[in-house]
Amino acid sequence: MTTQAILQKLPFAPPFLFVDGLDYIDSEKVQGYFTFREDMDCYKGHFKGYPVTPGVLLTEVMAQTGLVCLGIYLLGDEVLAENMTFGLTSTEIAFLRPVFPGEKVTVYAEKVYFRFGKLKCRVTLKNEAQQDVCSGTIAGMIISKPHE
């Protein structure tokens, strides 16, 4: 599966799409990137006069690349029927540096395990200087959407 095909299968759309592209993916790891645009709404009030990217959005970048993109790759042709999506089940993240408006970050994720529809990864987010911004583990699983 190509990186473009994976990106097209993501169950997210702007303004909640936090993957600009993938540099590498195989059955064990993925590397992708995202740039936090200066005009994003999250900077309007976090923090007054000193905008910093909220940790929850850093976690989301790591989850969308490390779990969802890798999960789509691992599922291959079985990937996500219309009534399926991904759900985050756990995170343990240490935050080390701030990310400011306009910064590009890169996600490095490595599979810990994938079984019974659950994927767990070790994930590191780095800034353009290749400094660790945050790292830890994230797990998620494939879930069925409720019928409407």
pLDDT recorded at residue 82: 64
Does residue 79 register a pLDDT over 90?
Answer: no
pTM value?
0.93
The answer to whether 40 and 115 have CB atoms below 8 angstroms apart is no
The answer to whether residue 147 is catalytic is no
- Find the mean pLDDT for residues 9-31: 96
Distance between CA atoms of residues 124 and 66, nearest Å: 9
Instruction: Report the number of distinct structural domains present in the chain.
Output: 1
Phi then psi dihedrals of residue 107, to 5 deg: -100, 130
CATH number for the domain harbouring residue 90? 3.10.129.10
pLDDT recorded at residue 131: 98
Residue 47 tokens read as 């923090």
Per the residue annotation, which of 29, 46, 118, 122 is the catalytic one? 46
Alpha-carbon torsion angle 15, 17, 20, 23, nearest 10: 170
Model confidence pLDDT, tens digit, residues 96-120: 999 999 999 999 999 999 998 899 9
Model confidence pLDDT, tens digit, residues 119-147: 999 999 999 999 999 999 999 998 877 76
Domain containing residue 112 = 3-144
* pLDDT more than 90, % of the chain: 78
* pLDDT more than 70, % of the chain: 93
Could you give the maximum distance between any two Cα atoms of the chain, in Å?
A: 47
Give the position of tokens 């097209």.
8
Neighbouring C-beta atoms of residue 39, cutoff 10 Å: 8
Q: What is the secondary structure of 46-113 as a DSSP string?
A: SSTTS----HHHHHHHHHIIIIIIHHHHHHGGG---TTEEEEEEEEEEEE-S---TT-EEEEEEEEEE
